[in-house]
Amino acid sequence: MTGRCCHAVELSPAYVDVAVKRWQEFTGQTTTLDGDGRTFAELSAERLAEAA
Look at residue 36 in the predicted model and tell me its pLDDT: 93
Which pLDDT does position 29 carry in this prediction?
Answer: 94
| Share above pLDDT 70 across residues of the chain, in percent, rounded to a whole number | 100
CB 11 within 8 A of CB 5: no
Examine residue 43 and state whether it is found in any structural domain, yes or no: yes
CA distances from 27 to 1, 12, 16, 21, 47 (A): 10, 23, 16, 10, 24
User: Quick check: helix, strand or coil at residue 29?
Assistant: coil
- Provide the 10 A C-beta neighbour count for residue 20: 16
| Residue 45 domain-assigned (yes or no) | yes
Kindly state whether residue 38 falls inside one of the protein's structural domains.
yes
pTM (two decimals): 0.73
pLDDT tens for residues 6-22?
888 899 988 989 999 99
Number of domains in the chain: 1
In a domain, 47, yes or no: yes
Range of the domain at 43: 13-51
